[in-house]
Amino acid sequence: MKQIQKRGKAGAWKYTGTVRLNGHSVSLTFPIRSQAKEWCDRVERAIKDEFATGKPFDKYDFIPRKPEKPKPLKVQREEEKLRNKTPSTDWTLFRAIQEYKETELENLKGFKQALLRLNSWQKSEFAHLKLNEITPHMLAQWIKERSRTKSPSTVRNDIYRISAIYELAGKPLTKHGWGLDISNPVKEVALPTVHGNRQRRLNKYEEEVLMLAISEGMYADQMTPFVIFAIETGMRKSEILSITKDEISRTKRGWSVTKKDTKNGHRRTIYLSSRAVEAIQPLYDAIKDKPDNTPLFSISSHTVENWFVRARDKAGLKDLRLHDLRHEAVSRLADKGLSVGAIASQSGHKSMQTLLRYINASEKDIRKKLEQEI
């Protein structure tokens, strides 16, 4: 049935139309009676059509929905926090990097360098762009500009950091990714080519003047054994600085250092030469009565970098890099006749191709071996 009720007072009458039919009851108020009547007719036809056409009757096609009450501010904040926690292609690069830093960074072996690069990206012009707004063309332009002041390897390492984020974003949830429908724009750009291997060797005279400069600087009691140890073992800076008392083994055959967790994720034992042992003996003696997890070196990575550069410049070796000590160590191991497998065991290189880039045999050694009888 349908009916119209007159409500209010003279001069301000209102008319409420009501339709009750087939279990439905719908009402709406109008200022004019004819509007109420026309509305009731339309509602009645729609309810009857429910049986004729099978289309369910929806009263909100004829009456406005009541506005939802605003949620309490606390609830709104919690919902926003939840939305922001769920990975999305609408995330900005800044937000994606923040998530990556919180969930993935600690699993990286070189996390300190990675953190510096990620922090730099968060300050870049891309930081506030959405993940799906960053295009290969934009990155290609960035590479072009960056390559004017930075080496090819630096540019590649920088851009690899956001490439890792896009790879994680596109990986399925079943593989511990973010499960987003997004492609990696880094795959669509040409990266700068690293030309050839670095051939910088450290000769005996250069080593002498470098060690003299280091001995005259601050932290000489730590820096001197660090540099000698690096040249003798080929260990990475982070590996040396993280050596603890319990990693050092002393046997009748000699001293060794066993790293349980290296950059490549493998356990490794590094055998020490007599020169390496002599260099760290005072440091070991100072901690031998302390807990097993006591570090052998007490200086930071930043301190090593800073004072190496000062000593290098003072010695007039401005083209020498700290990482060149590792190259030099590996090359000297090759000069001594160690097999590639033995060198890899000492240096920790997982890939033979990478190891061969580190080995720079000296001209003197090559010529000497060329003259040997076979």
- In this predicted structure, the answer to whether residue 80 has a pLDDT above a threshold of 60 is yes
pLDDT band at 56 (very low <50, low <70, confident <90, very high): confident
pLDDT band at 90 (very low <50, low <70, confident <90, very high): confident
pLDDT, tens digit, for every residue of 176-219? 999 999 999 999 999 998 765 667 788 899 999 999 999 999 99
Q: Residue 350 has what pLDDT?
A: 61
Q: Residue 213 has what pLDDT?
A: 95
What is Dmax (Cα atoms) for the chain? 126
Q: Residue 225 has what pLDDT?
A: 96
Q: Residue 311 has what pLDDT?
A: 95
- In this predicted structure, the answer to whether residue 356 has a pLDDT above a threshold of 80 is no
- In this predicted structure, the answer to whether residue 280 has a pLDDT above a threshold of 70 is yes
pLDDT, tens digit, for every residue of 231-260? 998 888 988 999 999 999 998 888 999 987
- Domain 204-370 listed as CATH 3.65.10.10: no
| Higher per-residue confidence, 70 vs 154 | 154
Distance CA 144, CA 137 (A): 11
Distance CA 45, CA 53 (A): 12
| Higher per-residue confidence, 60 vs 133 | 133
Q: Residue 366 has what pLDDT?
A: 47
Are the C-beta atoms of residues 139 and 125 closer than 8 Å to each other? no
Select from 199, 108, 189 the least CA-distant residue to 141.
Answer: 189
Q: Domain boundaries in the chain?
A: 2-61, 86-188, 204-370
Mean of the per-residue pLDDT values for the chain?
A: 86
Q: Residue 228 has what pLDDT?
A: 95
Q: Residue 370 has what pLDDT?
A: 44
Distance CA 22, CA 19 (A): 10
- In this predicted structure, the answer to whether residue 265 has a pLDDT above a threshold of 80 is no
pLDDT band at 53 (very low <50, low <70, confident <90, very high): confident
**How is residue 252 written in tokens?**
């009748």
- In this predicted structure, the answer to whether residue 22 has a pLDDT above a threshold of 70 is yes
- In this predicted structure, the answer to whether residue 262 has a pLDDT above a threshold of 60 is no
Query: Between helices 324-335 and 340-347, what is the axis angle to 10°?
Result: 150
Mean pLDDT of 62-78: 78
The CATH number fitting domain 86-188, selected from 1.10.150, 2.40.10, 3.30.70, 1.10.4160? 1.10.150
- Residue 102 burial by CB count (10 A; 0-12/13-18/19+): exposed, middle or buried? exposed
Q: Which long-range contacts (CB under 8 A, 24 or more apart) does 92-96 make?
A: 92/127, 92/128, 92/129, 92/130, 92/131, 93/121, 93/122, 93/126, 93/127, 93/128, 93/129, 93/130, 93/131, 93/134, 93/162, 93/165, 94/122, 94/127, 94/128, 96/131, 96/165, 96/169
Q: Residue 367 has what pLDDT?
A: 53
pLDDT band at 264 (very low <50, low <70, confident <90, very high): low
Mean pLDDT of 286-302: 93
Q: Residue 357 has what pLDDT?
A: 56
**How is residue 73 written in tokens?**
């501010």
- In this predicted structure, the answer to whether residue 290 has a pLDDT above a threshold of 90 is yes
pLDDT, tens digit, for every residue of 295-352? 999 999 999 999 999 999 999 999 999 988 988 888 888 778 776 767 777 766 665 5
- Residue 91 burial by CB count (10 A; 0-12/13-18/19+): exposed, middle or buried? buried
